[in-house]
Amino acid sequence: MTVAAEARQSTATVTFAKALNQALADAMAADDKVLVFGEDVAELGGVFRVTDGLAARFGESRCFDTPLAEASILGTAIGMAMYGYRPVVEMQFDAFAYPAFEQLVSHLAKMRNRTRGALPMPVVIRIPYGGGIGGVEHHSDSSEAYVAHTPGIQVVTPATVDDAYWLLRSAIASPDPVVFFEPKRLYWSKARLTLPVTTGPIGTAVVRRPGRDVTLIAYGQSVPIALETAEHAREYGYDLEVVDLRSLVPFDDATVAASVERTGRAVVVHEAAGFAGFGAEVAARISERCFYRLEAPVLRVTGLDIPYPPPKLEHWHLPSVDRVLDAVERAMSA
Amino acid sequence: MTLLDLPVTAHRGDPAAAASYWDTDPLCYLDRHGAPVEGGLRPAPHLLAADRLLAVYRALRLARAFDTEATALVMQGHLAVYPSSRGQEACQVAAALSLQPQDWLFPTYRDTAALAVRGIDPADALTLLRGSWHCGYDPKQWRTAPQCTPLATQAPHAVGLALAAKLSGDPVVALCLLGDGATSEGDFHEACNSAAVYQAPVVFFVQNNQYAISVPLRKQTHALSLAHKAIGYGMPGVRVDGNDVIALMHVLGEAMERARSGGGPTLIEAVTYRIRPHTNADDAARYRDAGEVELWLGRDPVERLAKYLTATGRLDGGLDAAIAEEGAKYAAAMRDQLTDEPAVDPADLFEHVFATPTPQLRAQRAMVEAEADAREAGERR
């Protein structure tokens, strides 16, 4: 999965959302088969402005508004991919993507396999996800486990501006479908973006911070929480390593296992409810690979097993630095 | 006037025109005895040319032979399941023959006979129902999507492909096959609505065979007809006799050409009947009586065209016997291909999940291959 790097060079401090916008624009400029469509993506530029300016620059035949119908949006993308296009569709919010679930599970995930490779599905589904933005009901779900459980779909979620750009370029270039979860709370975070940039192919995790004592494994907007925890942990004399999974499927067993082999302790952090959540898969894989090196049980710090709470209560639900530190304490005292 | 295929704008603001326009009588050319109906459709002359009609008749016979043989094969355990289209052959044939080579067909599990008429090898067409893979033909080669099982979910694909062709400037039409039950699904609604908004070159062809497994149409919709649903989408709707292949060819031909020339989508309801149970595993006696089936056997679509061709001097006993012989040969070849146990390879399970297998899939493949080797060596059950 490679993307030809553009010759043009640029450096700017940009928001996470702008990096995604730049990736879409560059992908559309590089390949006229790349189309962007969804609800409010054309004139408005998307409710989070990730598609801002694309319709004006590339025309309404390449970036267009659809009727408010998520199954149709994804089903249309599947039909367009059958004809050789590379659709990038936007689901406006995590919980509004559920009507498209049947299309995702029964067709997008299976079409290549069903047709022995004759109909590959180079489709990207962008889904703003996660909480912590004061959203009312149905605007803060973390639905990655539903998708990751479906064979045939790649699941990616960036945590840095560089990865926002590069992973989206990689997703669009991928011959297989990608569900691209965009952490809403990070949309307005800023960093310097120097283009062209290459971070890593889909399927690779990255060590964001090396450490000796405990491996914190996180993705999406839990990565900044893990990094902040690692800073605070120094006060207690703990040296934490932070692994950013960024690709849930394919899963980078090698990077995760190598880290836990070094530290002997692992804490998995994510916002989604813990029960049967993605962290359960991570913990199981670590146990299978690192059991004899583990100094403590693999722990999880996740959202509570409750329907996503209203804004005034959501801070009780979300993994906090203190809650992760508590887990680190437990791991260190085991 | 029973013709429901005028642009919907034609009757806007004119209730009287709308009332006659959305007549619920199905359009037809032939009555059930094969005689042209007075005041019925007037098909284009090329549809009534002798060589064209004989080609259609041959296709009807082939579809019937295919269905009969597949039904026998499933009874004998050579197919995993077979949803018969007996009684719906006129729809199957008209759908397949209305396509130009560049057009795409989006079939359901009940449309295997249409695949055969399109020219797909019967063994490849029956791969799904045989259970050796999910699709046995190359969809790009045949411009035929894999047969779709979850109802109406292929309809948005047809819209997407049609829109892609439109954006590319290609004269391609997508023909989406659906059943009456599928019209209750959300994807049907979303696809019709989107197709009309995009003015996509797609035709929705609903074979109303009266039953969704056991549930009759009256429990499926409160609409006057399925064709009426087109009104809400702002597209033409047509209700046609689904056992009258000439009427079907006419109506489908008009809809396909309207789509091809930029006129947008059409919804066609073909009124027909599923003579056999839902599949070989179904017991239709639990929900409908034999008299109803008898009634529809009297409206047989193959016999109807045969009577018309005979009455107009285009078919005689000799030619009919020769065409029957072609069907018998086709069925015998089918039987030869499908009675052997199909070869399957467990390595195929991993080959096309992704373009490049993940490390985890490579490990699982190695495990399964080792199991297969051990089994071959007699070391494993």
Q: Are residues B85 and B149 in the same domain?
A: yes
Q: Are residues B368 and B261 in the same domain?
A: no
Q: Are residues B120 and B260 in the same domain?
A: yes
Closest partner CB to B157 (pick from A66, A75, A116):
A75
Closest partner CB to A85 (pick from B139, B156, B164):
B164
Q: Are residues B145 and B251 in the same domain?
A: yes
Structural domains for chain A: 10-195 (3.40.50.970), 206-333 (3.40.50.920)
- CB-CB under 8 Å, A82 with B134: no
How far is Cα A249 from Cα A145, in angstroms, rounded to an integer? 10
Contact A155, A148 (CB under 8 A): yes
Minimum CA–CA partner of B202 in chain A: A79
The radius of gyration computed from the CA coordinates of chain A, to the nearest angstrom, equals 20
Q: What is the mean pLDDT of residues B20-45?
A: 82
Check whether B17 has a pLDDT greater than 60: no
Check whether B1 has a pLDDT greater than 90: no
Instruction: Give A320 to chain B, closest Cα distance, Å.
Output: 32
How far is Cα A280 from Cα A298, in angstroms, rounded to an integer? 10
Amino acid identity, residue B30?
L
Say if B324 falls within a structural domain. Answer: yes
Q: Which residues of B touch A175 (CB under 8 A)?
A: 355
Closest partner CB to A115 (pick from B139, B356, B359):
B139
Closest partner CB to A102 (pick from B153, B161, B348):
B153
Q: For residue B3, what are the contacts with CB-CB under 8 A and spacing of at least 6?
A: B21, B27, B41, B238
- CB-CB under 8 Å, B138 with A84: no
**Which residue among the candidates B32, B78, B118, B278 is catalytic per the annotation?**
B278
- CB-CB under 8 Å, B355 with A119: no
Say if B81 falls within a structural domain. Answer: yes
Contact B246, B47 (CB under 8 A): yes
Q: What is the mean pLDDT of residues B251-261?
A: 97
CA dihedral B74, B80, B85, B86 (to 10 degrees): 10
Instruction: Encode pLDDT of B71-119 as tens digits.
Output: 999 999 999 999 999 999 999 999 999 999 999 999 999 999 999 999 9
Say if B2 falls within a structural domain. Answer: no
C-alpha distances in Å from residue B370, one per residue of A205, B41, B346, B380 = 30, 65, 11, 10
| Domain at B196, CATH number | 3.40.50.970
Look up the ipTM and state it.
0.95
Q: What is the mean pLDDT of each run of 10 residues along chain A (334 residues)?
A: 60 97 98 98 98 98 98 98 98 97 98 98 98 96 98 98 98 98 98 94 98 98 98 97 98 98 98 98 98 98 98 98 98 94
Contact A231, A207 (CB under 8 A): no
Q: Are residues B150 and B204 in the same domain?
A: yes
How far is Cα B286 from Cα B297, in angstroms, rounded to an integer? 19
Q: Are residues B358 and B242 in the same domain?
A: no
Q: Taken in order B78, B83, B88, B91, is the CA torsion positive or negative?
A: negative
Q: Which domain holds residue B218?
A: 8-338
Confidence of residue B381 (pLDDT cuts 50, 70, 90): confident
Q: Taken in order A135, A138, A141, A147, is the CA torsion positive or negative?
A: negative
Which residues does B contribute to its contact with A (CB < 8 Å)? 104, 133-135, 138-140, 145-146, 150, 153, 155-165, 167-168, 174, 186-187, 190-191, 193-194, 197, 348, 351-356, 358-360
Closest partner CB to B153 (pick from A75, A113, A253):
A75
Contact B73, B79 (CB under 8 A): yes
How far is Cα A103 from Cα A87, in angstroms, rounded to an integer? 14
C-alpha distances in Å from residue B365, one per residue of A204, A285, B134, B351, B368 = 21, 18, 19, 9, 5
Nearest one of B19, B16, B2, B1 to B231, comparing CA atoms? B19
What's the number of domains chain B is made of? 2
> What predicted TM-score, i.e. pTM, was given to this entire model?
0.95
Does A152 touch chain B if contact means CB atoms closer than 8 Å?
yes
**Which residue among the candidates B260, B287, B288, B365 is catalytic per the annotation?**
B287
C-alpha distances in Å from residue A19, one per residue of A24, A60, A219, B24 = 9, 22, 18, 56
Q: For residue A29, what are the contacts with CB-CB under 8 A and spacing of at least 6?
A: none
Instruction: Encode pLDDT of B60-73 as tens digits.
Output: 999 999 999 999 99
Does A102 touch chain B if contact means CB atoms closer than 8 Å?
yes
**Which residue among the candidates B258, B274, B299, B304 is catalytic per the annotation?**
B274
Q: Are residues B156 and B42 in the same domain?
A: yes
Q: Are residues B234 and B381 in the same domain?
A: no
Check whether B7 has a pLDDT greater than 80: no
Contact A177, A124 (CB under 8 A): yes
Residue B230: the pLDDT is 96
Q: Are residues B305 and B350 in the same domain?
A: no
| Residue to substitute from A39, A72, A110, interface B, most B β-carbons within 10 A | A72
How far is Cα B150 from Cα B11, in angstroms, rounded to an integer? 35
- CB-CB under 8 Å, A106 with B150: yes
Q: Are residues B284 and B376 in the same domain?
A: no
